[in-house]
Structure 1
Amino acid sequence: MVALLFHPVFGRLFAAQVLALVGTGLLTVALGLLAFDLAGAAAGAVLATAYTVKMVAYVGLSPVAGALVARVPRKLVLITADLIRACVALALPFITEVWQIYLAIFLLQTASAVFTPTFQATIPDILGDEDDYAKALSLSRLAYDLENLLSPAIAGLLLLVISYHWLFGGTVLGFLLSALIIARTALPARSTPKDRPFRARLTRGIRIYIATPRLRGLWFLTLTAAAGSAFVIVNTVVVVREGFGLADRDVALALACFGAGSMAAALTLPALLRSLSDRPVMIGGAALMTALMLLLAVLAPSWPLFLIVWALMGLGYAAIITPSGRLLRRSAHREDRQAAFTAQFTLSHVCWLITYPLAGSTMTAWGMAASMGILAAVGLFGIGMTLWVWPEGDPVVVTHSHPDLPDNHPHLAGKGHTHTHALIIDDEHHVWPTHG
């Protein structure tokens, strides 16, 4: 896995990702302190609204932005998105009103909704080998987990000598360095897309996604992952401080356990996926998360058991999320990968848009046991739907017919109307044969 860091293109893109993530981590800490300065005891409500705005931007604007930039060179898209994020972060220290926070978050996350799917869709074109791509996905997962662990620590050290306003400077620097690295990296060109109207470009990724059984399964598995991780993100501080009566450092320890479990999974997945297919690994991770939620719905854990459960939750979460890029790569032609990754970005955040408020409201109203029981039901629903829409075996090569195509159609040349090949939803294949 380490050898990939020396890949002339992927190594640079990974460095750009890490720098942008560190900048985002500093932003998260500084934004919380800014919200407290502006709103005092109502800072929690301000941040909850800000994160809701973030999800709305991801869900509502990502498909539109993806369609608008579908023909723009990748390097220009990535650099522009980084520069927009840097400009917004530069303005944050001068904010004096709560509504300005919401506007800044909306602009920042709109740029991220362009950057992230474009970045993710570029990696499969750089790494053609399936094993290398699996390692790249694990490295990306590790980068996210390390950011969650290290950015608060870095911010804490910086706050010993500077005010939190200067943390926004670190965010700006992270985005600028990311843009500089991308500018100095030779990225593969997009494959030439077919000339389609804007409406077709807007919906193409979603149509490919919904028509492909393994991607429908991915969506429902993401719902299970979102159910468990939403509780961790939203309620860990409440459980640790109110439930166990412990200190802030114990909140950090619990979140570190979740991150450590996720990193452990990311490190072992490349080897595991060489012997197992994605489906059993991902369903196994979903089953683990759901079982842990059911456990906490019926059992009041001790502090050590709670930390173990959080580590296992992180492991299950990474087992679901990390292989998703492999499914997307397998399910779209090269010219449609940007659309497929954008669809995953949009639809996955629909899951968190549902589970974040559900985790917060049920915890506030009824406590951890009831909240975990409700979220476990969501997790079971996700697993059940996955088993239904993503059948075992998940064939790549499928026998199918084209009764609608004329005899002289290029796709039928030498094959006839009924033939067998690796099936991908495209202009000639609008539905999956077994689910049409």
Structure 2
Amino acid sequence: MAVGYLELLQRNKQFRRLWYGQIVSQLGDWLDSIALFILLLNLTGSGQALGLLLLAEFLPGALVSPFAGVVIDRLPRKLVLIASDLGRAAMVLLLLLVNSPADLWLVYVAVVLKVSMAAFFEPARSAILPSLCTREELVTANAISGATWSAMLAIGAALGGLVAATLGVRAAFLLDAASFLLSAAIIATVQVRPSERSGADQASRGRSVWALAGQAGGELRDGLRYVMRHRDVFWLTFTKALWSIGGGVLLLLTLLGREVFPLGRDGALSIGLLYAARGLGTGIGPLLALRLGGDGQRFLRRAIVIGFFVTAAGYLALSAMPTLALAALAVLFAHLGGSVQWVFSTALLQTKVPDQLLGRVFATEYAALTLTTALSAYLTGVIADQGVSPWALSLGLGGVFLVTGTIIGLALWRE
């Protein structure tokens, strides 16, 4: 039987501390993201340049994640989380040095390094949950984490637009760096219970970095082999990547806010509001689905499929919306579905994959979804620079979700 949300937060102190760290870190992330969009559009005015930014935000994760998974399964996961937070704080501070188009290279360097560190953080956070929660708590814990990501997206995007429009982008960068430092301090207080990984961790102590690195290739292959040999795990691992083939919606929302519904300096407020609508939708989706259907595995699988078609319907509807308010409603509806597939696929993987392989499986998942998001966002930017309207882009991306939803439906819609 599923545990209640408040019940889990009240009784599980360690999960609660991890959750506090997530809140402050992700709030700062979205302050930072809106500021980056505004900064780059002011420096270049190019949709392709914005697509390159999104490429820099996602492609490194695809390259780094498989190796990050080996590290996550070797080192204490709490240590990985803290080191990632500290490194990202340093990278955000580099953005304060950007003053003109001549400094554009520094934006991409800082973003690539920051995202490379995030490639350790996100899989480690997913992999550490089974060491903090019981099996009965996992679906609820993932729903809370997903809802928190969504709430921080909604609040952070709205605040990010407001901060960028009033205090400037540098203030947003400073706030983001501070949030990473606070997150690291909070996560340092989390106590992780021992698991079957303890023996491997003990065996790793006293061995050189080079000796451990020599095993990394074999361990990486072990993780990929496990994913490829288990049909359910394969499709659950790659469902986010299929959804992210439509990841160009991230660029679409920025173009709509700046070019179609400009509000505030450089459209900062309207971009923030559209991203806030996305966050609100992703927060509501899993909570609503769990209330309607429960947490049985059959329902979770089918809800993932339905989520794709909900997203498709939202972006097809967005292509015909004449006002910012209606556009925001369409975006909210679309991301009810996106969050359901995200949260439920994560929870199902946590119940099916052995603990000693979780880091590598989640790193494989993260690599695939960041690769497809990066390519989709970049191609959307190139198409936009050819004069294709945001409305046509929305229609095309809605069609992409119909196709990928059909593929995942054939894989998961069964007993």
TM-score (norm 1): 0.78
1: distance between equivalents of 2:316 and 2:40?
35
CA distance 1:210–1:367, shift in 2 (3 Å): farther
Structure 2 counterparts to residues 137-286 of structure 1, below 5 A: 137-155=142-160, 158=163, 162-189=167-194, 191=197, 192-193=199-200, 197-218=215-236, 221-228=239-246, 230-231=248-249, 233-239=250-256, 242-243=259-260, 248=267, 249-271=269-291, 272-274=293-295, 277-286=299-308
2: distance between equivalents of 1:301 and 1:54?
29
> Which AA in structure 1 matches 2:348?
L
1: distance between equivalents of 2:402 and 2:158?
36
> Which AA in structure 1 matches 2:397?
L
2: distance between equivalents of 1:158 and 1:367?
28
Give, in angstroms, the shift of residue 254 of structure 1. Answer: 3.7
Contact 1:118 1:338 in 2 (8 A): yes
> Which AA in structure 2 matches 1:257?
A
Hey, which of these two has a bigger chunk of helix by percent?
2
Q: Name which of 296, 312, 326 aligns with 1:290.
A: 312
Q: Residue 371 of structure 1 aligns to a residue in which SS? A: helix
> Which AA in structure 1 matches 2:110?
A
Give, in angstroms, the shift of residue 323 of structure 1. Answer: 0.6
Task: Encode CA deviations 1:335-357: one digit per residue, 9 max, x unaligned.
Answer: 11111111111112222123223
Question: May I ask how many residue pairs the two structures share in their alignment?
Answer: 387
Give, in angstroms, the shift of residue 156 of structure 1. Answer: 5.3
> Which AA in structure 2 matches 1:17?
Q
**Paired residue for 1:114?**
120
**Paired residue for 1:17?**
22
2: distance between equivalents of 1:321 and 1:69?
21
2: distance between equivalents of 1:316 and 1:178?
29
Structure 2 counterparts to residues 421-436 of structure 1, below 5 A: none
CA distance 1:93–1:315, shift in 2 (3 Å): same
Show structure 1 runs of 5+ residues with no match.
394-436
1: distance between equivalents of 2:93 and 2:405?
43
2: distance between equivalents of 1:158 and 1:383?
37
Q: Residue 9 of structure 1 aligns to a residue in which SS? A: helix
Contact 1:85 1:175 in 2 (8 A): yes
Range with bigger deviation, 161-170 or 132-141? 161-170
Give, in angstroms, the shift of residue 332 of structure 1. Answer: 1.1
Contact 1:216 1:386 in 2 (8 A): no
> Which AA in structure 1 matches 2:403?
F
2: distance between equivalents of 1:352 and 1:345?
10
CA distance 1:306–1:47, shift in 2 (3 Å): closer
1: distance between equivalents of 2:308 and 2:115?
28
Contact 1:212 1:331 in 2 (8 A): no
**Paired residue for 2:45?**
41
Q: Name which of 67, 71, 75 aligns with 2:74.
A: 71
Give, in angstroms, the shift of residue 368 of structure 1. Answer: 4.7
Range with bigger deviation, 255-264 or 154-163? 154-163
**Paired residue for 2:84?**
81
CA distance 1:245–1:63, shift in 2 (3 Å): closer
Show structure 2 runs of 5+ residues with no match.
205-213
2: distance between equivalents of 1:100 and 1:86?
15
Q: Residue 257 of structure 1 aligns to a residue in which SS? A: helix
Give, in angstroms, the shift of residue 83 of structure 1. Answer: 1.3
The answer to whether the aligner puts 1:378 opposite 2:396 as a matched pair is no
CA distance 1:69–1:209, shift in 2 (3 Å): same
Give, in angstroms, the shift of residue 296 of structure 1. Answer: 5.9
Q: Residue 277 of structure 1 aligns to a residue in which SS? A: helix
CA distance 1:241–1:40, shift in 2 (3 Å): closer
2: distance between equivalents of 1:309 and 1:36?
25
Give, in angstroms, the shift of residue 148 of structure 1. Answer: 1.9
CA distance 1:364–1:296, shift in 2 (3 Å): farther
1: distance between equivalents of 2:183 and 2:177?
10
Task: Encode CA deviations 1:177-199: one digit per residue, 9 max, x unaligned.
Answer: 11111112212345134999221
Give, in angstroms, the shift of residue 390 of structure 1. Answer: 3.8
CA distance 1:221–1:364, shift in 2 (3 Å): farther
Contact 1:257 1:307 in 2 (8 A): yes
> Which AA in structure 1 matches 2:252?
N
1: distance between equivalents of 2:331 and 2:353?
35
TM-score (norm 2): 0.82
CA distance 1:364–1:313, shift in 2 (3 Å): farther
Task: Encode CA deviations 1:33-83: one digit per residue, 9 max, x unaligned.
Answer: 54466x3535x5544323212222100011122224431112221111111
Aligned-residue CA RMSD (Å): 3.0
2: distance between equivalents of 1:369 and 1:392?
35
Q: Name which of 325, 335, 338 aligns with 1:314.
A: 335
1: distance between equivalents of 2:381 and 2:184?
36
Contact 2:82 2:184 in 1 (8 A): yes
